[in-house]
Each structure stands twice: as C-alpha cells, then as structure tokens.
Amino acid sequence: MVSWAVTGATRGIGFGFVDNLSSDSNNQVFALIRSRSSAGPLEELAAKRGNIHIVVTDIADPKKLEEAAAEVSKVTAGALDVLILNAGSAVPETSGLPPTAFHGKKEALENEVNENIKNNLFSNIFVIEAFLELIRKGTEKKIAFVSSSSGDVEFTRITGISAVLGYSIAKAGMNMVMTKYAVELANEGIRTLSMSPGWVATDAAEAVTGDPEIRKFFLNAFHKLDPTVTGPIPVETSVAAQLKLVKNLTAEDSGKFVTHNGNSEWF
C-alpha cells in the first residue's frame, strides 16, 4: 500500500488528487480538510471508497497539525509515503492590484503580502514539519507542492501580469522553501517537487478568470507564451499530469519547480 496525504482536499485540484489516487485500491489516501462545510462530494466519495480517510485540521495551527499527523500515524503505523501540499488561494481583496497601487498604503501592502505568506507559505511549512517524521518512515519519501505560474519570474516577465502580488511572492518563496528541504533532506532519501498545475477549471480559476472581460485580458497575456491556449484544462488532466511527475520524481530532479508538463510549457 502507498499512503498519500493531500491538503485542501474538498474541492478543485485537491479533490481531484483524492479521486484519482483512491480509484486504485493499492493507495491509502488521507484527505486533509479545514471544514466539512464544503466536503459533501468528498464525503460521498469516501463513503464509496474505503481507502479514503478524511482528517479535519487547520494548516495554520502546528498543534492541530500534530494531532492530524498522529491520526494518520495510527492508521499507517507511523509512516507516510507522499505528502501533497495543495491547499492555497490568493488573498485578500487587494490581490487584483499591481505594486504601484500600494504606494502610500503601507498597511494594505503589509496585509497583501503577510496574508498570502501566512496562507500559502507558513501553513505549508507547518504541514511539512508535522508530517516529516512520518515521511522519514515512509517508502516513497516524497513531498510535492502545488505552486503556480504566478510564482515564476519568466512567466510574469513574458505575460506582463502585474497583479496578485502577495500570492506570487508566497508561491515563489514556497518554491525556494521546497528546494531548501530538498537539499537538506537529500541524504535521507527524501525528495521534493514544486509543480505549476496549469490553468485548471476550478472554483479558484472561475473566481479569477470567470468574468468574460477579465478572461479576455488573461487570454491575451497567456497568448504571449502560447498562442494556442483557449481556456483552463480539466482538473483530471492536471492531476494525472502532476501525479506522473510525482511518481517519476528522481533524486536528480528533487527541489525543482516545473510545470504540470514537467518542463517549461505552462499550458
């Protein structure tokens, strides 16, 4: 049995990971969620598949995460093979603004950056800290982070997207954190990978690019990189591509940031 833990498993890409992985009875899947309020489809799936375990926790709270890791540990006899850091989102309402819009607005700037660092960087470090002992005892010993093209310098340079400042900083910072863990833990056989999932049809993508005018803006920006892109890809496509990368992750590639295509093709 291969054991997997996925954060943010109620919806979108995280739910897609759980659905894909649990369809194989050789996998044991721990779906880490913050609340059952949006977990209806996950609970329905878990009722049908005995290899899904729902764990309610708070990724911002190291103590709650220790309890979650202990819950997983009881089922797996102290081990975890693969940890997928998927939970994340662009916060707060100022995320649509470019850097110069924060001129003279110190508090708004600090809030934009700090909230995203809390939500998309510190929380992921807390999750790694809580589960590292289990990963050490696992067979696969892998930690994967669902990053974003927003955290990439070249993507930003070419598309010209100046908004989502704090989110981009947090995703770029977390990519580096993953590389730091990769180099520190390499001699223990632990491997890490940061992956851009692509432009994926989820609630989050709908919130950012759902409005027809805004979608036109993003499509124009994306066409600078790939003139053939027409819209987001299905969750299933992104998840299958990312899982292929995780399964094939070698020590040589540990710590890299790649697209779901395993290279620098973003769409």
Ligand X SMILES: NC(=O)c1ccc[n+]([C@@H]2O[C@H](COP(=O)([O-])OP(=O)(O)OC[C@H]3O[C@@H](n4cnc5c(N)ncnc54)[C@H](OP(=O)(O)O)[C@@H]3O)[C@@H](O)[C@H]2O)c1
Q: 96: which 2 tokens?
A: 């649509």
171 is catalytic: yes
Catalytic residue among 141, 142, 171, 256: 171
Which residues fall within 8 angstroms of residue 169, CB to CB, at 6 or more apart? 113, 116, 117, 151
Catalytic residue among 149, 150, 167, 254: 167
- Provide the residue type at 147 as one letter: S
108 binds ligand X (CB under 6 A): no
The DSSP result for 28-86, as a single string, is EEEEEES-STT-HHHHHHHHH-TTEEEEE--TT-HHHHHHHHHHHHHHHTS--SEEEE-
Among 3, 4, 6, 11, binds ligand X (CB under 6 A): 11
Among 205, 239, 243, 258, binds ligand X (CB under 6 A): 205
222 binds ligand X (CB under 6 A): no
Among 20, 51, 76, 86, binds ligand X (CB under 6 A): 86
- Backbone φ, ψ for residue 187 (5° rounding): -75, -5
Distance (Å, rounded) from C-alpha 62 to C-alpha 64?
A: 6
Contact track, ligand X, 238-267, x by CB under 6 A: ------------------------------
Among 24, 44, 188, 203, binds ligand X (CB under 6 A): 203
Distance (Å, rounded) from C-alpha 207 to C-alpha 190?
A: 36
Length in residues, the chain:
267
Nearest to 199 by CA among 251, 246, 150, 140: 150
Nearer to ligand X by Cβ, of 79 and 267: the residue is: 267
181 is catalytic: no
148 is catalytic: yes
H or E element in which residue 208 lies: helix 203-209
Among 12, 138, 166, 255, binds ligand X (CB under 6 A): 12
Catalytic residue among 148, 168, 194, 196: 148
- Backbone φ, ψ for residue 257 (5° rounding): -115, 115
89 binds ligand X (CB under 6 A): yes
Binding residues for ligand X, rule CB under 6 A, total: 26
76 binds ligand X (CB under 6 A): no
138 binds ligand X (CB under 6 A): no
Catalogue the active-site residues.
148, 167, 171
Q: Which residues bind ligand X (CB under 6 A)?
A: 8, 10-14, 34-35, 38, 59, 86-89, 119, 123, 146, 148, 197, 199-200, 202-205, 232
